[in-house]
Chains A and B, each alone.
Chain A
């Protein structure tokens, strides 16, 4: 399907939260099947879409299922049948659907998942952090990250075009921060239904189950005989999807005027100290970086817009002249360094660049990361640059009660 028959007239500027932005993008993409089990903070995405459906704006189906495992299973079945499919979830819901995430990517189903990032229990917590985002990091899904409702809307639209591209055929996650983005109404400039529908385009069926003249079995069993070729081919498509993502971003810029990059940078060109962060923290760090520059510290910010596939070359290029890089991970690392730290340091490992690398664990379960705290992180990194070495340990927890929590003390020679 391409576009719903009933058009919704939109203002040039709408005031939408991230969930409504998602729901609107799903409506405009002309999705055939939404199979979902609402969970905070992604409920608004499903609720918004369901209200569009109830009001006659959706020609497709909304299937409310009994669990997130069933939600993603429904998506896989509908996608195999030849439908354009999407769902939304968060946190525990994502954890429950994780088995099927691997099925979806292995079966090369171009499903779009609106993931509204939330902490994983225990303790039970409905607020934002990146635990669920990181849980998808090896699931074979392309992962895009938004900082605000406008970006969530844009990236969810782009996600369909990337996923369904004939050279990609992989599922895509459109991430946004729980509450900070999903429940914060901001100005959004939507595309008209017609322009958005034309951008996403008609759905291209591949080996549809409903083609009765050419029966096909999806997701068959392969053992040592063929499994590795399938996984290699899947990973190869993931690696090559980068050029398609760039194409889609370029095409989107032409119709919207909004430019998205594989990695987003703010004043990194001449920066000595760079903070790398995902989601809303990337935006807060802009203010902190500007404040730092007024105080004479050359500060910059970087964010991988495309979290997976990891843009190693582009990250390495953006950080090649940095003197200190602080990777901010908003997820309990489980006895290791944070995921973002690992991604970023592996980008630099074989390059001549030797910035002082450190890892900050912050904002778990929705704890605020303020501009003042970000400035302190910049100041500390600038001091390290002055001293020519990391003071203390690689990993530090910030914004937490109790003693200083620092780990991994490796003295460089």
Chain B
């Protein structure tokens, strides 16, 4: 799990992690035309064959924009129930379901906006992804996981 959390957390860098953060820059560094670069420097390897955590993303890339506070409900993942079908990974509109080698590794809470689509498309019974209120800790959420539904039960 520790390794998994590293992958998820490496997808977002705060301004403190940048040597010359845009927040410390001034008038002279503003690029005219509200243009921002996606990567630092020129691209060395093809982006499609480079994992997101290995890409040299610029601070101004939306990858480094924290939008977790847009959320009022969050998906919680129950690893014991998950069958790695990848449905949530396919349907997530914000690339916030992180999967490596076709195995789900976690949820990117820095970018997930809590739309609930992942929970909707989860095929297990009970669901492996369930939406909880933002203030409930994931541990508490796992302790109050819904029961398996009976045939015909809504």
Contact = CB atoms under 8 A, between A and B. Distances in A.
Given A230-B30, A233-B30, A207 B43 contact: no
B31 interface: yes
Interface in B1-49: 27, 30-39, 41-43
Interface stretch (A31-39, A45-53, A212-220): A212-220
Interface stretch (A106-114, A121-129, A192-200, A249-257): A106-114
A214 B32 contact: no
Contacts of B27: 229, 233
B17 to A, nearest CB: 18
A15 to B, nearest CB: 41
Contact of A218 (B30, B34, B39, B42): B34
Contacts of B41: 214
B35 A217 contact: yes
Interface in B43-57: 43
Contacts of B39: 214-215
Contact of B33 (A169, A212, A213, A215): A169
A233 B60 CA distance: 19
Nearest to B29: A229
Contacts of A212: 43
Interface in A299-335: none
B35 A220 contact: yes
A206 B32 CA distance: 10
A106 B31 CA distance: 12
A219 B43 contact: no
B32 A217 contact: no
Contacts of B43: 212-215
A216 B38 contact: yes
Contacts of B36: 216-217, 220
B38 A217 contact: yes
A405 B35 CA distance: 50
A87 interface: no
Interface in A201-253: 206-207, 212-220, 222, 226, 229-230, 233-234, 237
A234 B30 CA distance: 11
Nearest to B42: A213
A234 B32 contact: yes
B33 A219 contact: yes
Nearest to B30: A229
A107 B43 CA distance: 24
A207 B60 CA distance: 15
A213 B39 CA distance: 9
A195 B38 CA distance: 40
A209 B106 CA distance: 33
A109 B33 contact: yes
A220 B38 contact: no
Nearest to A213: B42
Contacts of A226: 30, 34
A212 B35 CA distance: 15
A108 B34 CA distance: 8
Given A214-B43, A233-B27, A106 B34 contact: yes
Interface of A: 106-109, 169, 206-207, 212-220, 222, 226, 229-230, 233-234, 237
List the 10 closest pairs (A to B, CB-CB), nearest first.
Answer: A108-B33, A215-B38, A108-B32, A107-B33, A213-B42, A207-B35, A229-B30, A218-B35, A220-B34, A220-B36
Interface of B: 27, 30-39, 41-43, 60
24 contacts: A106-B34, A107-B33, A107-B34, A107-B35, A206-B33, A207-B33, A207-B35, A214-B37, A214-B41, A215-B37, A215-B38, A215-B39, A215-B43, A216-B36, A218-B34, A219-B33, A219-B34, A219-B35, A226-B30, A226-B34, A229-B30, A230-B30, A230-B34, A233-B27
